[in-house]
Amino acid sequence: MKALPILIVEDDHDLLEALCATMRLAGYTTLAASDGDTALKLLQAHQVGMVVSDVQMKPMDGLILLQQIKISYPELPVLLMTAYGEVDKAVTAMRIGACDYLLKPFDPDNLLVHVKQYFTPAPNDDIGMIAKDPKTRALLSLAKRVANSSATVMLTGESGCGKEVMARFIHQHSLRVTKPFIAINCAAIPENLLEATLFGYEKGAFTGAAQAQAGKFEQAEGGTLLLDEISEMPLELQAKLLRVLQEREVERIGGRKMIKLDIRLIATSNQNMLEMVKSGTFREDLYYRLNVFPLEIPPLRSRPLDILPLVERILNAVVDESTKQIFRLSKAAMTKLEHYSWPGNVRELENVIQRAIILATDTIEVAHLNLSEIDSRETTAENNHALCDIKTLERNHIMETLAAVNGSRKLAVQRLGISERTLRYKLQQYRLTGC
């Protein structure tokens, strides 16, 4: 595993060189900056394990630099170097978030002791997270912080942006890492089976229950339960979920015994949850119970530095195992990938690269990517307009059918040939989008 570099920030050129030399002799790699602005630019371009910075610098002093670092990289350790007469600044720095401070002049061995104590090693590569972009690194810092607690986490973001990957990341950095990680997609399970899947059931509880079955809550005991697309959960079931979260116990269907729970809950949604609360399609009390620590996963287009590293990982994962064929990207293809707006996020990127591998021989060119020549951001409005026209026809048909059966959803779904759950979802979307 490659160690992360240490960023040294010092406006005295000779001292900066001496500090870097001391670090290199001790086996560390370094990045050097002579002012705060340069340091922030280096942090955007590189992942580092620690920052060692002087306090007395111009135009940005070490305290302001520390504040900027803590906003974007809250978990990054920052060691400040200050003169003897500036102890008051050192105390302020500790309050802001510095890990420690050294009084100048100091012995190199003393510096190395502090570095060894606070230096952050390289993250494990098996976590599955690509974090080259500053936005992603800042998000992972927050995720690591909440991972050490037992707080419920609400992950929101567009479809395909990596919410389940983030949930697994939180679990792997938590004290529950040795316990189960159980995931359930609330949108993928039929409504009449979702309750039994979540809470479990006893033998004979309903037709077909030939033996007792533990639900997902019980299966996750001691570990983490992920409720993916929680916004698709029916209102009736939301009330039962709220009680489980409040009481920290569950009762199987057909059972009479309450089963105590010790789990960490993570929920995800690609919907605007507050809008759903306002429209009455999601319980307000459950929303606030789930939204203890909200984390919004940014779309891929807003973290462009992650794109090529993600492509590299995808290429390594999908190469032909029999021939060990190695593919590379042309510069034009790289540029195209970096400037495309990825409406389908990481999931779309994976599909594009897999398709390109089939079409290419060894070098992936722009033509193999099969991406629109017009940036997707320019076509989104046109596509949405056309889509809205189609949805308007669908909406009119559904509303006319409901009117014909005097608002009976049961009769409406029979005439429309769709499930009641689909009808409820459609009506919810009409309230939120208007088309």
133 and 190 in a common domain:
yes
What is the C-alpha to C-alpha distance for residues 369 and 329, in angstroms, rounded to an integer? 10
Residues 6 or more apart whose Cβ sits within 8 Å of residue 131? 47, 123, 137, 140, 306
Domain finish residue from 314, 346, 369: 369
Domain holding 91: CATH number?
3.40.50.2300
pLDDT above 90: percentage of residues in the chain:
48
What is the C-alpha to C-alpha distance for residues 208 and 281, in angstroms, rounded to an integer? 31
User: Strand, helix or coil at 106?
Assistant: coil
Domain holding 151: CATH number?
3.40.50.300
161 and 20 in a common domain:
no
pLDDT digits (tens, 9 = 90+) for 227-283: 999 999 999 899 999 999 999 999 999 988 999 999 999 999 999 999 999 989 999
pLDDT digits (tens, 9 = 90+) for 33-52: 999 999 998 887 787 889 99
Average pLDDT for 27-32: 92
In this structure, what is the dihedral angle of CA atoms 348, 353, 354, 355, given to the nearest 10 degrees?
90
Residue 32's pLDDT is 94
Strands 200-201, 213-214: pairing is: antiparallel
Work out the mean pLDDT of the chain and round it to a whole number. 85
338 and 231 in a common domain:
no
1 pLDDT above the threshold of 50: no
Confidence tier at 72 by pLDDT (50, 70, 90): confident
Report how many domains make up the chain: 4
Residue 119's φ and ψ, nearest 5 degrees, are -60, 135
382 pLDDT above the threshold of 70: no
User: Strand, helix or coil at 329?
Assistant: strand
180, part of any domain: yes
Residues 6 or more apart whose Cβ sits within 8 Å of residue 417? none
What is the C-alpha to C-alpha distance for residues 10 and 57, in angstroms, rounded to an integer? 8
157 and 69 in a common domain:
no
382 and 246 in a common domain:
no
User: Which of 429, 424, 420 has its CA nearest to residue 192?
Assistant: 420
pLDDT digits (tens, 9 = 90+) for 107-154: 999 999 999 888 876 554 445 578 888 888 888 888 988 998 999 999
Lowest mean pLDDT among 22-36, 158-172, 187-201, 282-296: 187-201
401 and 329 in a common domain:
no
Domain range enclosing 78: 6-118
Domain holding 312: CATH number?
1.10.8.60
155 and 289 in a common domain:
yes
Residue 86's pLDDT is 67
140 and 69 in a common domain:
no
145 and 108 in a common domain:
no
265 and 132 in a common domain:
yes
pLDDT digits (tens, 9 = 90+) for 282-340: 999 999 999 999 999 999 999 998 999 899 888 877 664 545 677 889 999 999 999 99
329 and 257 in a common domain:
no
1, part of any domain: no
Residue 434's pLDDT is 56
**pTM for the whole structure:** 0.65
* Beta strand spans in 270-401 (E): 293-296, 328-329, 363-364
Interior angle at CA 326, CA 323 and CA 330, nearest 5 = 150
pLDDT digits (tens, 9 = 90+) for 4-22: 899 999 999 999 999 999 9
Domain finish residue from 337, 369, 401: 369
Residue 414's pLDDT is 76
Domain finish residue from 85, 118, 151: 118
306 and 244 in a common domain:
no
Note whether 217 and 184 are within 8 A (CB): no
